[in-house]
């Protein structure tokens, strides 16, 4: 299958640009009617950011990502303000956990590792990471892939609107202000963009990149949502978290990012993941209509 580099930023007549304009309009109204409290203002001492431990945690699930995890952790640790990293490893057989442990030696207080007994899935990995982050009192909790499809240099742009109290969730979007993907087969782009159209039609979720896995939550969102009811995986997990956040009344925004297809390791995409997501949107909508969300 031929691959392509797609980076579209056409004027607003382009169909991908038309939708964000409506979404942003709805979002502004949504934020005004559901004001999210701003964080308390701290003493602007020049040394305060250096003296304080990181208040943001980046959760990275892994399974056989030895080729990627080292550089990803290094880039996350280079960001400013400082960030912490939590790797949730599903018993990788390629030494991924060993590489993370070596990084812990270099940055003991900022690199954390949870090792699970087997390949238990993306959704449960993130839920385990969320509970860890809440227990450790992190305020800003990020999701990011280990395969270098997400650029760690975009993390400050995702955290900033949440830190400033503008929104409770900032989502790194491939489809706001154009289409921003590199080295995807055309079939994958059609599937991903089509999933957004399908999900919005059923759920009315005002979001362009419904399956995005690069984002930052304020801890208040995760404290509020019934995480014990979240039972999906893969794409479906991302859709469910977005939908529950929206229906709980939290404001969110999409931040444009460039998504780059992995160059090392194997893709975790499977047919079962797509089918689960297709069915999950109907389940969410029905639960919502019955008041059982």
pLDDT of res. 274: 78
The percent of residues in the chain predicted with pLDDT above 70, rounded, is 79
> Reading across the β-sheet that carries 215-218, which strands appear in turn?
111-115, 84-89, 56-62, 140-143, 215-218, 169-173, 252-256
**Mean pLDDT, residues 167-186 taken together:** 93
pLDDT of res. 53: 84
**pTM exceeds cut of 0.75:** yes
pLDDT of res. 267: 55
pLDDT of res. 159: 98
Q: What is the distance between the alpha carbons of residues 98 and 115, in angstroms, rounded to a whole number?
A: 11
Q: Which is nearest to 91 in space by CA: 71, 112, 60, 120?
A: 120
pLDDT of res. 2: 45
208: left (phi over 0), alpha (psi -120 to 50) or beta: alpha
Q: Hey, which of 105-109, 115-119, 273-277 has the most confident mean pLDDT?
A: 115-119
**Mean pLDDT, residues 113-141 taken together:** 97
**Mean pLDDT, residues 58-81 taken together:** 96
Q: Flag whether pLDDT at 198 surpasses 90.
A: yes
Task: Give the model confidence (pLDDT) of 9-57 as tens digits.
Answer: 433 333 333 333 333 333 333 333 344 444 444 444 434 444 578 999 9
For the chain, the helix, strand and coil percentages under 3-state DSSP, each to the nearest 5: 45, 15, 40
pLDDT of res. 265: 53
Higher pLDDT: 106 or 125? It is 125
Within 8 A by CB and 6+ apart from 129, the residues are: 57, 59, 61, 86, 88, 114, 141
Task: Say if residue 44 is exposed, middle or buried (CB neighbours under 10 Å; 0-12, 13-18, 19+).
Answer: exposed
Helices (H), the chain: 15-33, 48-51, 69-77, 96-106, 122-135, 155-163, 186-203, 219-224, 234-247, 271-289
Q: What structural domains and CATH numbers belong to the chain?
A: 3-35+52-289 (3.90.550.10)
**Mean pLDDT, residues 89-103 taken together:** 96
Within 8 A by CB and 6+ apart from 86, the residues are: 57, 58, 59, 60, 112, 113, 114, 129, 132, 133
Are 174 and 259 contacting, i.e. CB atoms less than 8 angstroms apart? yes
Helix axes 96-106, 69-77, angle to 10 degrees: 30
Backbone CA torsion sign across 206, 157, 57, 126? positive
């Amino acid at each position: 299958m031929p691959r392509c580099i797609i980076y579209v930023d056409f004027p607003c007549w382009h169909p991908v640009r038309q939708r964000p304009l409506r979404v942003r309009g709805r979002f502004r109204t949504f934020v005004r009617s559901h004001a999210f409290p701003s964080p308390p203002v701290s003493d602007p001492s020049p040394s305060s950011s250096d003296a304080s431990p990181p208040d943001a945690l980046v959760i990275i699930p892994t399974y056989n990502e030895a080729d990627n995890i080292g550089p990803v952790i290094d880039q996350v640790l280079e960001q400013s303000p400082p960030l912490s990293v939590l790797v949730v490893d599903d018993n990788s057989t390629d030494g991924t956990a060993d590489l993370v442990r070596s990084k812990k030696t270099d940055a003991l207080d900022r690199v954390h590792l949870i090792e699970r007994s087997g390949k238990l899935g993306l959704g449960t990995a993130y839920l385990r990471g969320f509970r860890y982050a809440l227990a450790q009192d992190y305020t800003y909790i990020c999701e990011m892939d280990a395969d270098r499809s997400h650029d760690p240099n975009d993390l400050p742009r995702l955290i900033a609107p949440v830190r400033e109290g503008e929104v409770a969730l900032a989502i790194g979007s491939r489809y706001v202000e154009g289409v921003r993907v590199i080295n995807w087969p055309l079939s994958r782009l059609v599937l991903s963009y089509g999933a957004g159209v399908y999900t919005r039609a059923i759920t009315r979720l005002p979001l362009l990149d419904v399956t995005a896995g690069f984002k930052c939550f304020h801890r208040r969102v995760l404290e509020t949502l019934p995480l014990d009811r979240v039972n999906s995986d893969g794409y479906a997990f991302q859709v469910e978290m977005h939908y529950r956040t929206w229906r709980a009344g939290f404001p969110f925004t999409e931040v444009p990012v460039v998504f780059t297809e992995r160059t090392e390791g194997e893709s975790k995409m499977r047919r079962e993941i797509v089918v689960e997501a297709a069915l999950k949107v109907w389940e969410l909508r029905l639960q919502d209509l019955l008041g059982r969300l």
